[in-house]
Amino acid sequence: MSSHEIIPLDRGHLNEILDIEVLSFGSPWTEVAFLGEFVQPHSFTYGVVSLTDHKVMAYIVFWLLEDEVHILNLAVHPAFRREGLANSLLTYLVDVSQKAMCRLVFLEVRPSNLAALRLYESFGFVKVGIRPNYYTDTSEDAHLYTLFLEDSHDY
């Protein structure tokens, strides 16, 4: 039996999300950024929460636009890393994407984020491009990764 579940997150979870965000990124999203995502009809935030205390352990923010999904943010609280939570969120996202008849899932990732690169590549994401100087805090390029969901349609 699992000790956690994946649920939609909202403003009520914001403080927990922000705590994870600050612990996870050198240039974390702001409260305003998350609040903006909560009100967009194409934006979704899901989290892994503990069944015992209902605390947010990890989250993912993504856009569902037409037949594409864009992952904007994915983070796991440092205390819960290496427990498969990011894997669970990505599995959930791929399932949602296929049910929505999406063609692809894409994201930008720092080339220095080796753990994220390994995770995405293990799901079948492939590098399809580079966005030069994408990250304003370091001028680091972003690698554009795409997961093609050919199996989700009957062509």
What amino acid positions are annotated as catalytic residues? 108, 120
Class of residue 49 by CB neighbours under 10 A (exposed 0-12, middle 13-18, buried 19+): buried
The amino acid occupying position 110 is R
What is the distance of C-alpha 69 from the center of its chain? 10
What is the distance of C-alpha 43 from the center of its chain? 11
